[in-house]
């Protein structure tokens, strides 16, 4: 009976991941894509997205849920890249300089976001989601009006013809895949961007190490119970702000790694969906609002992006229209987040009612004595 | 850690980061070098373009130029090494020349006229700044769409109607 219950709970806990495994198993043969092409694409997307998704782990550790505020870091990364492109700093030095520029902007955004999230404890996800929309307005003010008029932008390939504002697309041809191709090995026709993976691996090590530090332990304590953490002398508000600042800074750096792989910036839209897709990928990997691991990141990227690659092809084969597959993958991204949130609330209520039932039982026992 | 030491440490860290940023800005500065093989005149001295010039950067041929042609190469940093394989006359012998060129930091694009350089003229005669002319596509007005609420308000309906 216990075994049966355990298996059921296991399936329930990993239902999102299992659903994706099933989708992939069905879609891969239908899509007709060769295994080497598929693996190549997944490896590329792993290098492109892993750093960004890793940036989500620290706020989850601090009990702040899935940080949609990572969009703010993505904006900072984009600002860094736009400036560096205009200054014609190319290649790896261009990327490093963009990262250095993005860090103080990310810190400011993170501080702002963290302070607001401290005012909305328990509603961090929806608050960070709305902050990302609000800050998108501030980003547009900078990029659309201040760049070119107050912040010097020299090149007509970046500046709008009216004399101020940045074009819809900024080319990053001068740094396209420079990090990925710095040391790239081919293995059975699959290109492995070694340096990108080394950076991701180091980031994983930093996260593992960070969990064991005093600050990491404080974050875990805050994540488990804020009242208990406060009673034990932890500055809860400060710890939460630090977790958001770290996440935002890492998201800025992650966005630069992401965009160097893509080779261009969609100035007004690159950042807006990145939070959604990273969070969806993490949830697909089996993470929840309150618990996520490095393993969830990689499993999530593999499953979510396999679906992303095969869905349009499978859609085209099944219905004759590849757009169906496109709709499907966007629909699934949102659906995954919805399912994860419902499961989180259901589990929370179930745990609450279990505690309630135990209390009631204890009370009845006491009364019968 | 004492607060004085902490401030010093932080200032030191900021200084190191700024130093790295400056280094990146210097070593990562990209330039486009244009090679012209064009006959012309400088201060009354005429010069003629060689029959054929091949330009090599890092052992890779980046341009093969005949009279009146232009080639280009991208470089990073302020020192640009390149080799020229020049054939002065059709069917004649060619010779090779290694050149190191200090690219001015402030210039995005530099034009080197190989014919003038080979004629032994001073640097200002064969080096000039490349001033890009915006293409027709670049001059075309671009609509930036940022409105999340487009089409949802009465004003939009009126505009559309």
User: Of B21, B141, B148, which is closest to A97 when you measure between CB atoms?
Assistant: B21
Per-residue pLDDT tens digits for B133-148: 877 777 777 888 776 6
User: Given an 8 Å threshold on Cβ–Cβ distance, is A101 in contact with B28?
Assistant: no
- Cα–chain center distance at B16: 29
DSSP code of residue B153: S
CA A85 – CA A175 distance, rounded (Å): 9
CA A121 – CA A18 distance, rounded (Å): 32
Q: What are the backbone angles phi and psi of residue A166, rounded to the nearest 5°?
A: -105, 145
- Which residues partner with B84 through β-bridges? B55, B97
B86-110 average pLDDT score: 92
Nearest CA in chain B to A84: B25
The answer for residues whose C-beta is within 8 angstroms of residue B17's C-beta and 6 or more apart is A100, A103
User: Given an 8 Å threshold on Cβ–Cβ distance, is A160 in contact with B142?
Assistant: yes
Q: What is the pLDDT of residue A5?
A: 59
Q: What is the pLDDT of residue B156?
A: 53
Q: B100 burial class (0-12, 13-18, 19+ CB within 10 angstroms)?
A: exposed
* pLDDT for residue B160 is more than 50: no
Q: What is the pLDDT of residue B153?
A: 57
* pLDDT for residue A62 is more than 70: yes
User: Of A90, A165, A268, which is closest to B30 when you measure between CB atoms?
Assistant: A90
CA B115 – CA B36 distance, rounded (Å): 8
Within 8 A of A91 by CB-CB distance, chain B residues are 28, 30, 76
User: Of A100, A156, A157, which is closest to B17 when you measure between CB atoms?
Assistant: A100
Q: Which of A216-220, A255-259, A309-313 has the lowest mean pLDDT?
A: A309-313
Q: A92 burial class (0-12, 13-18, 19+ CB within 10 angstroms)?
A: middle
Q: Which CATH fold would you assign to the domain B30-139?
A: Immunoglobulin-like (2.60.40)
- Decide if A22 touches B, using CB distance below 8 A: no
User: Given an 8 Å threshold on Cβ–Cβ distance, is A90 in contact with B76?
Assistant: yes
* pLDDT for residue A1 is more than 50: no
Q: Which of A8-12, A239-243, B108-112 has the lowest mean pLDDT?
A: A8-12
* pLDDT for residue B161 is more than 50: no
Within 8 A of B28 by CB-CB distance, chain A residues are 89-94, 96-97
User: Of A91, A133, A140, which is closest to B76 when you measure between CB atoms?
Assistant: A91
* pLDDT for residue A52 is more than 60: yes
Within 8 A of A94 by CB-CB distance, chain B residues are 24, 28, 30
Quick one: which of A24, A13, A7, A54 has its CA closest to A307? A24
Q: What is the pLDDT of residue B151?
A: 58
Question: In degrees to the nearest 10, what's the CA dihedral of B13, B17, B20, B26?
Answer: -140
Q: Which domains are seen in chain A, by residue range?
A: 38-300 (1.10.3470)
User: Given an 8 Å threshold on Cβ–Cβ distance, is B144 in contact with A100?
Assistant: no
What is the per-residue burial (b if ≥16 Cβ within 10 Å, else e) of A162-184? eeebbbbbbebebbbbbbbeeee
| Residue B79: how many other CB atoms lie within 10 Å | 10
User: Given an 8 Å threshold on Cβ–Cβ distance, is B74 in contact with A90?
Assistant: yes
Under 8 Å between Cβ of A256 and A98: yes
The answer for residues whose C-beta is within 8 angstroms of residue A284's C-beta and 6 or more apart is A16, A17, A20, A299, A300, A303, A304, A307, A336
> Which B residues 103-142 touch A at CB under 8 Å?
108, 132, 134, 138-142
Q: What is the pLDDT of residue A309?
A: 87
Nearest CA in chain B to A159: B138
User: Given an 8 Å threshold on Cβ–Cβ distance, is A87 in contact with B25?
Assistant: yes
The answer for residues whose C-beta is within 8 angstroms of residue A241's C-beta and 6 or more apart is A110, A111, A114, A115, A118
Domain ranges of chain B: 30-139
Under 8 Å between Cβ of A285 and A17: yes
Q: What is the pLDDT of residue A2?
A: 47
Rg (CA), chain A: 22
B17-21 average pLDDT score: 96
User: Given an 8 Å threshold on Cβ–Cβ distance, is B24 in contact with A88?
Assistant: no
Q: Hey, which bits of A101-244 come out as E strands?
A: 169-171, 184-187, 190-193
Reported residue count of chain A is 369
Please give the structure tokens belonging to residue B57. Answer: 């950067």
Under 8 Å between Cβ of B37 and B31: no
User: Given an 8 Å threshold on Cβ–Cβ distance, is A88 in contact with B29?
Assistant: yes
User: Given an 8 Å threshold on Cβ–Cβ distance, is B142 in contact with A101?
Assistant: no
- Decide if A214 touches B, using CB distance below 8 A: no
Q: Which of A153-157, A247-251, A257-261 has the lowest mean pLDDT?
A: A153-157
| Residue B97: how many other CB atoms lie within 10 Å | 13
């Amino acid at each position: 009976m216990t075994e049966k219950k355990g298996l059921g709970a296991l399936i329930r806990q990993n239902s999102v991941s299992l659903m994706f495994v099933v989708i992939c198993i069905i879609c891969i043969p239908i899509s007709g894509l060769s295994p080497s092409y598929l693996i190549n694409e997944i490896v590329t997307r792993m290098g492109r997205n892993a750093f960004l998704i890793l940036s989500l782990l620290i706020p989850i550790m601090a009990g702040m849920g899935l940080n949609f505020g990572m969009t703010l870091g993505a904006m900072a990364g984009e600002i860094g890249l736009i400036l560096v492109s205009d200054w014609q700093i190319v290649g790896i030095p261009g990327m490093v300089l963009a990262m250095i520029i993005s860090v103080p902007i990310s810190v400011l955004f993170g501080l702002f976001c963290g302070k607001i999230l401290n005012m909305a404890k328990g509603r961090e996800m929806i608050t960070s989601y709305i902050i990302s929309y609000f800050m998108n307005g501030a980003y547009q003010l900078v990029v659309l009006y201040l760049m070119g008029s107050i912040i010097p932008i020299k090149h007509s390939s970046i500046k709008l013809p009216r004399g101020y504002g940045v074009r819809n697309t900024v080319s990053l041809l001068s740094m396209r895949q420079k990090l990925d191709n710095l040391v790239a090995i081919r293995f059975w026709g699959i290109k492995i961007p070694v340096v990108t993976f080394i950076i991701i691996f180091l980031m994983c090590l930093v996260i593992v190490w960070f969990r064991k530090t005093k600050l990491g332990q404080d974050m875990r304590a805050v994540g488990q119970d804020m009242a208990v953490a406060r009673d034990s002398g932890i500055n809860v508000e400060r710890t939460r702000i630090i977790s958001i600042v770290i996440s935002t800074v890492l998201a800025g750096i992650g966005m630069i790694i992401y965009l160097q792989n893509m080779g261009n910036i969609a100035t007004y839209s690159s950042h807006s969906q990145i939070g959604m897709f990273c969070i969806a990928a993490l949830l697909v990997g089996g993470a929840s609002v309150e618990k996520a691991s490095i393993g969830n990141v990689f499993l999530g990227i593999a499953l979510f992006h396999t679906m992303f690659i095969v869905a349009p092809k499978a859609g085209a084969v099944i219905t004759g229209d590849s757009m169906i597959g496109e709709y499907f993958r966007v629909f699934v991204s949102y659906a995954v987040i919805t399912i994860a949130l419902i499961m989180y609330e259901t589990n929370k209520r179930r745990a609450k009612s279990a505690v309630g039932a135990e209390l009631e039982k204890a009370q009845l026992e006491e009364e019968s004595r | 850690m004492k607060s004085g030491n902490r401030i010093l440490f932080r200032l030191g860290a900021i200084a190191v980061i700024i130093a790295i940023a400056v280094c990146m800005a210097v070593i990562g500065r990209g330039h486009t070098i244009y090679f012209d093989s064009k006959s012309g005149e400088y201060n009354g001295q005429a010069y003629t373009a060689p029959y054929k010039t091949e330009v090599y950067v890092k052992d890779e041929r980046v341009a093969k130029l005949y009279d009146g042609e232009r080639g280009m190469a991208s470089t990073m940093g302020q020192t640009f090494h390149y080799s020229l394989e020049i054939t002065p006359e059709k069917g004649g012998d060619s010779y090779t020349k290694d050149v190191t060129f200090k690219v001015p930091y402030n210039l995005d694009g530099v034009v080197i006229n190989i014919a003038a350089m080979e004629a032994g003229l001073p640097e200002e005669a064969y080096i000039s700044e490349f001033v890009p002319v915006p293409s027709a596509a670049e001059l075309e007005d671009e609509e930036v769409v940022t409105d999340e609420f487009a089409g949802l308000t009465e004003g939009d309906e009126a505009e559309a109607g």
